[in-house]
Amino acid sequence: MSVATPAGAPAGRGDPWALLGSAVPGAAALLVVLAYAVRAGVLVSYPWDWSPDEGLYLDYGRRVFEAPGSLYPRRAVPFPSAYGPLVPVLLAPLVRLSHPLEAARLLALAWTAAGVAAIAALLRRSPSPAWAATGVALYLAPFDLSFWHVLVRVDGPMIALWLWAAVPLLPRALERGKDALSAGRLAAGTLLLLAAVLVKPTAVLHGAPLVLGWFLVDRRSAWRLVGAMTAAGLAALGALQLATGGGFLWVNRLWALHPMVPGHPFAIARSFASLAWPVLVLALGTGLAAWAARGRPHREPAVLLLAGGLAVAPLLGKHGAAWNYLVPFFAATVVATVRWSFVFRPWPAAASILALALAATRPFPLPTALDEATARFFYGFTQEVQLRSGGPLLVSRPDLVYFLAGQPAEIEGSSFFHLAAGGAPGTDGVLRGLEERRYALVVWTWPLPDSPQWTGALLRGYVRLGECRLGWYFGAPFPSHLAVRRDLDLAFDPPPGTRCAASREGKATPQ
């Protein structure tokens, strides 16, 4: 899509549109970034998990040094790394610090900044910096969506690397003969896209349109890029398979045990739309206006990013999928919308006002004093049990219990139900451990398998002590139940000012 100056007076000092187009977007971007940074700083300093799986990633980082073979074994227990090795390697030096979770969140803040910088770089061909500033503001302003980047998860770095891969790989136009890949652009794009895949393998889907789109522009460049990506990907896969004894692909096949849930994609789409709808409406309006102005928005190279963001759609029906699967599509929507708007001089000022309105009205999910007090008591109690009994512990979320206990994560809450039902190697040992009363403490937020064997093992061997409703980014709707082995004399006495309560039932139950 070509960049053009609208009809009318040329931009200059006396042009009110020029003044609005430069001052308003810059000020809006600065305010949104500052507001985001302040809120992110609060989350960085929070000493407990804000997503129930953040402890799992810390556990992976620790295993890089202590038990690298447990990351990709041919077993489902202890729970292997379901993603690429890059994030555990990045986290490995941090887990030995005195405050590993806070250090990991600082790293997450760094990759969030990298994603913001990539948005600005993808808009560098705009008529003025105002468009790039507007893009940054729109990317961060829906705080209840963009906060996701600061969690210690694989999504943030994968998205940042995918966006940076687009910087060299997006052609200048989706038209035959309008561009060709230089050796430098090809190498940079290949390495960045490969790095994204080594963070989260679904980046293969997100990155495919960036590669295949070159067949619409320059076939020679396309074949060179396909060859480079294939060679680099096979080399990386071969190295991982060799290093893990074939465990990398074996572990990734465990995803096949997650069933498809009817209607799940539509529920995810509704959740995502409820967060992103103002920007989605802006994108639709800008695209239609560009079409009416003969701007040919379908020829804008950023549509390759849009296609990449939606390429994950077939996976939305899997149990365990959530709206975060569409966060890459939101980033792509921001880039495409801003690039479609290049022919409309007043657009940055108007869109920046929308970004300010979003930043002023959208909540950034942050922990409260009650969340912190509850977490402090809960994790303090689990550590006390581990210290007095020697463990081990069985936890179906939150995974930080494992990390604080110095124990590899034995199971993972959202998948263990399906792994056990599918008979994945190692899952039978967990049931046997319950029957033999091997675990000192059992914690379940996500349900354990619902069968007479599991229920009976808990009832016979464990006493339910109570529950804590921990605060996470989605609130505190789920209780974390605690049951202790019957031979351990431990009092569960929650103090006032927490969302913890002792059980009146005196028995364990898996649901």
pLDDT of 428-462, one tens digit each?
999 999 999 999 999 999 999 989 999 999 999 99
For 123, the 3-state DSSP assignment is coil
Percent of the chain with pLDDT over 90: 87
Residue scoring higher pLDDT (95 or 7):
95
Closest by Cα among 206, 202, 214 to 305: 206
Inform me whether the pLDDT recorded for 53 exceeds 60. Answer: yes
pTM value is 0.94
Considering just the CA atoms, what is the radius of gyration of the chain in Å? 25
Task: State the pLDDT at residue 477.
Answer: 80
Task: State the pLDDT at residue 5.
Answer: 38
- Residue 509's pLDDT band, with cuts at 50, 70 and 90, is very low
Quick one: CA torsion of 323, 324, 327, 329, rounded to 10 degrees? -60
- Residue 9's pLDDT band, with cuts at 50, 70 and 90, is very low
Q: How far is CA 41 from the centre of its chain?
A: 18
- Residue 345's pLDDT band, with cuts at 50, 70 and 90, is confident
Q: What are the tens digits of pLDDT across the range 236-258?
A: 999 999 999 999 999 999 988 98
Inform me whether the pLDDT recorded for 13 exceeds 60. Answer: no
Inform me whether the pLDDT recorded for 310 exceeds 60. Answer: yes
Task: State the pLDDT at residue 125.
Answer: 87
Contacts of 298 (CB under 8 A, 6+ apart): 174
Buried residues in 15-39 as b, exposed as e (16+ CB within 10 A) = eeebebbbebbbebbebbbebbeeb
Q: Any bridge partners for residue 481, and if so which?
A: 444, 467
For 207, the 3-state DSSP assignment is helix
Distance (Å, whole) CA 85 – CA 245: 15
Inform me whether the pLDDT recorded for 42 exceeds 80. Answer: yes
Task: State the pLDDT at residue 6.
Answer: 39
Task: State the pLDDT at residue 77.
Answer: 96
Task: State the pLDDT at residue 376.
Answer: 98
Distance (Å, whole) CA 376 – CA 370: 10
User: Cα-flanking dihedrals φ and ψ of residue 137, to 5°?
Assistant: -65, -45
Residue in the structure block whose two tokens are 């657009």: 347
Position 50, amino acid: W
Q: What are the tens digits of pLDDT across the range 116-131?
A: 999 999 999 888 899 9
Distance (Å, whole) CA 156 – CA 81: 17
Inform me whether the pLDDT recorded for 4 exceeds 80. Answer: no
Q: What are the tens digits of pLDDT across the range 383-408?
A: 999 999 998 999 999 999 999 999 99
Position 5, amino acid: T
Task: State the pLDDT at residue 20.
Answer: 62
Arithmetic mean of pLDDT over the chain? 93
Residue in the structure block whose two tokens are 């581990």: 386
Average pLDDT over residues 187-212: 98
**Crossing angle between the packed helical segments 413-421 and 427-435, to the nearest 10 degrees:** 100
HSE toward the beta carbon, residue 275, CA cutoff 13 A: 25
